[in-house]
DNA sequence: GGGATTAATGCAAATTTTTTGCGTTAGTGG
DNA sequence: CCACTAACGCAAAAAATTTGCATTAATCCC
């Protein structure tokens, strides 16, 4: 079931993995995920179902893999001038992306697999993004971020509310950031 | 798929639902959840598989229902004297229960169903527990809790770390509570 | 490079799960 | 007590999953 660091990751395996992932991506835009099955994916990918069963085990593991791949951030966090405004911009975008139906579905998929550590990888991406904001702040001469604290104070509440309560609005994101970085970098470092 | 508030909730339906739930509870202690299937549950419950398929749709929905039922707190939060120590005791127990393998599995199950709002219900239980601590505090003459703030500052970080990072230890729970209720009710209200 | 080795795939049969049509049972309302 | 109908049981059909074996193609070693 371990897809990464396979024993024989050469050409064919990688090609099939890419083909299957692409098939899932394409099919998720055409049909409801309730009617997405492994035979359907296999046909679209030009692969035998048994190949998918042997490599991923079941649909959940496959969707988990696809989701964690899609959750990887494409770019660095936007540079808005200060650590606080960077964090605010990042948090707002993060909340919006994760609140969407596809976002929630991806989170569910990532967490669905008990064996894989996809959830940890997903959090790792977040950690890297926050670290990037912190590093950039220090390069400017600002104070860096306590990334662990930001996880607790900003990221965790956003995720919790999306999953268990209701998607946080922009005002709430702002309040979370304000609590994490009280009175810091207000328009111009006071 | 809507199990609650059915059109005809009388004797038989309730009996079958209880039987199926009991079967799932019993089987989860005997076998790994990977080998738990609807036909197995049906046989144990003395019911036809098609009945389960028609009422719950699939295994995920059924497990979600069972999990949210098991996640309902059995008792009031312990009364330890002050709101802060109550909250700390509650948070430690919550973290420990949810960190366990069965706890994590239940959370996954609850979140797995896209249609049901089991996750919201689960959070509702937490809200009630926190509200009970708050009410008791006010009855004592203490200040009550800002439950929303506690959700953000204590519950959300615990859940986030369990799901995406690593289970929080007792010290971290204490730090979260300290951040939520700074310098309040320290052994004797200063 | 070239051949031996073997992980990974394709194929098809066997198994298991899921769906579906229809008769029966048992709550529900009059 | 009777009519009505939601929910169930049963069995056949359809679909998905597993599994054994032959084939393909990376990887390793020379």
**pLDDT tens digit sequence for A28-67:** 999 999 999 999 999 999 999 999 999 999 999 999 999 9
Range in A122-126, A138-142, B185-189 the model is least confident about: B185-189
| pLDDT of A7 | 66
CB contact under 8 A, B160 and A159: yes
Backbone angles phi and psi of A91, in degrees to 5: -60, -40
**pLDDT tens digit sequence for B12-45:** 899 999 999 999 999 999 999 999 999 999 999 9
Query: Could you say which DSSP state residue B153 is in?
Result: I
The encoded tokens of residue B154 equal 């204590």
| pLDDT of A4 | 42
Q: pLDDT band for position A183 (50/70/90)? A: confident
How large is the greatest C-alpha to C-alpha distance in chain A, in angstroms? 63
> A120 — contact with chain B (CB < 8 Å)?
yes
Give dist(CA A167, CA B119) in Å, integer: 13
Task: Give the angle subtended at the CA of B6 by the CAs of B40 and B44, to the nearest 5°.
Answer: 15
Residue with CA nearest D9 C1'?
B48
Give dist(CA B5, CA A29) in Å, integer: 34
- Give percent of chain B above pLDDT 90: 86
User: Which nucleotide is the nearest neighbour of B40, by CA and C1'?
Assistant: C17
Mutation test of the interface with chain B: which of A163, A171, A175, choosing the one with the most B Cβ atoms within 10 A? A163
Domains and CATH numbers, chain A: 11-57 (1.10.10.60), 83-180 (1.10.357.10)
Chain D footprint bases within 7 A of protein beta carbons: 6-11, 15-20, 25-27
**pLDDT tens digit sequence for B107-149:** 999 998 887 789 999 999 999 999 999 999 999 999 999 999 9
The answer for residues whose C-beta is within 8 angstroms of residue A36's C-beta and 6 or more apart is A24, A27, A28, A59
Give dist(CA B57, CA B1) in Å, integer: 6
| pLDDT of A86 | 98
**B-chain residues near A157 (CB < 8 A):** 151-153, 156-157
Which alpha helices (H) appear in chain B, and where do they start and end? 11-30, 38-45, 49-56, 59-70, 83-99, 101-112, 118-140, 147-150, 156-164, 170-180
What mean pLDDT comes out for the span A162-187? 91
Other Cβ atoms within 10 Å of A118 Cβ, number: 22
The encoded tokens of residue B120 equal 């919201």
The encoded tokens of residue B183 equal 């310098």
Three-state SS for B98? helix
Separation in Å: C20 C1' and B54 CA: 11
Kindly tell me the burial class for residue B62, based on how many C-beta atoms sit within 10 Å of its own C-beta (0-12, 13-18, 19 or more). buried
Range in A88-92, A116-120, A178-182 the model is least confident about: A116-120
Footprint of strand D on the protein (CB under 7 A): A 8-12, 37-40, 49-50, 53-54, 57-59; B 6-8, 12-13, 16-17, 46-48, 50-51, 54-55
- pLDDT reading at B2 higher than 90: no
Question: Which residue in chain A has the smallest CA separation from B105?
Answer: A114
Q: Chains A and B: how many Cβ contacts under 8 Å?
A: 70
């Amino acid at each position: 079931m371990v897809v990464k660091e396979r024993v024989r990751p050469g050409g064919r395996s990688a090609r099939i993995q890419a083909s299957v992932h692409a098939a899932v991506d394409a099919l998720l835009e055409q049909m409801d995920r309730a009617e997405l099955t492994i035979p359907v994916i296999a046909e679209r990918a030009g692969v035998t179902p048994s190949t998918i069963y042997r490599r991923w085990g079941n649909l959940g593991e496959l969707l988990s893999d696809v989701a964690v791949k899609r959750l990887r951030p494409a770019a660095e966090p936007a540079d808005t001038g200060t650590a606080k405004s960077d964090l605010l911009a990042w948090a707002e975008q993060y909340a919006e992306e994760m609140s969407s139906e596809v976002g929630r579905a991806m989170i569910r998929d990532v967490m669905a697999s008990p064996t894989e550590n996809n959830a940890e990888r997903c959090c790792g991406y977040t950690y890297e993004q926050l670290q990037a904001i912190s590093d950039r702040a220090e390069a400017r001469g600002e104070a860096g971020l306590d990334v662990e604290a930001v996880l607790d104070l900003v990221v965790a509440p956003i995720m919790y509310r999306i999953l268990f309560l209701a998607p946080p609005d922009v005002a709430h994101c702002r309040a979370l950031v304000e609590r994490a970085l009280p009175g810091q970098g207000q328009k111009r470092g006071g």
